[in-house]
DNA sequence: ATAATGACTTTCA
DNA sequence: TTGAAAGCCATTA
């Protein structure tokens, strides 16, 4: 009954795997990178479908506010611990400074004078 | 088949 | 800065 539902998921996972260690990306960012612009929710779904023993660094994906979207009880705590282990720091409100830890996919960082 | 849900984002007040 | 409202779309009921 495999209905090749995984095609989109595969792309999403591939994008997530590109996130460097110690960095984080947002759901929207991943969606765009996976060729699914505007489907941030779908990214969340894809990640939710992962098993515990996965090679996908799901913990590096956070929401646009730089916070963990998972509820603490359903894995949020685990995610935070994993990230802190990679060197990602959280502020007093449990948010990550995307300006510092946000991943910038190879894009022309147009630096203006 | 319709309706509700959800690991989201963006815009506007 | 925060919060509400609308937009998106696959999965579930």
Distance A82 CA to B4 C1' (A): 33
Distance A63 CA to C1 C1' (A): 18
**Number of alpha helices (DSSP H) and beta strands (DSSP E) in chain A:** 5, 2
| pLDDT at residue A23, rounded to an integer | 94
List bases, strand C, within 7 Å of protein CB.
2, 7-11
Comparing A41-45, A61-65, A81-85, A103-107, the range with the smallest average pLDDT is A103-107
Distance, in Å, from the CA atom of A58 to the CA atom of A75, rounded to the nearest integer, reads 11
pLDDT tens-digit map of A75-107: 889 999 999 999 999 999 899 999 999 998 875
pTM of the model: 0.87
Q: Give Cα separations from A108 to A35, A77, A98, A112 (angstroms).
A: 19, 35, 18, 11
Q: CB of A78 within 8 A of CB of A55?
A: no
Q: CB of A86 within 8 A of CB of A62?
A: no
User: Which nucleotide minimizes the distance between its C1' and the CA of A41?
Assistant: B8
Task: Give the long-range contacts of residues A80-83, CB within 8 A, separation 24 or more.
Answer: A83/A24, A83/A59
List bases, strand B, within 7 Å of protein CB.
6-10
């Amino acid at each position: 009954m495999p209905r090749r539902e995984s095609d989109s998921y595969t792309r999403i996972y591939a994008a997530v795997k590109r996130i460097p260690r110690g960095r984080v990306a947002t759901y929207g960012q991943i969606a765009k990178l996976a060729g699914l612009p505007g489907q941030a929710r779908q990214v969340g779904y894809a990640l939710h479908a992962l098993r515990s023993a996965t090679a996908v660094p799901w913990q590096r994906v956070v929401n646009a506010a730089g916070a963990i979207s998972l509820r603490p009880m359903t894995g949020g705590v685990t995610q935070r611990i994993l990230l802190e282990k990679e060197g990602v720091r959280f502020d007093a409100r449990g948010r990550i400074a995307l300006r510092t830890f946000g991943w910038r996919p190879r894009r022309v960082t147009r630096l203006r004078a």
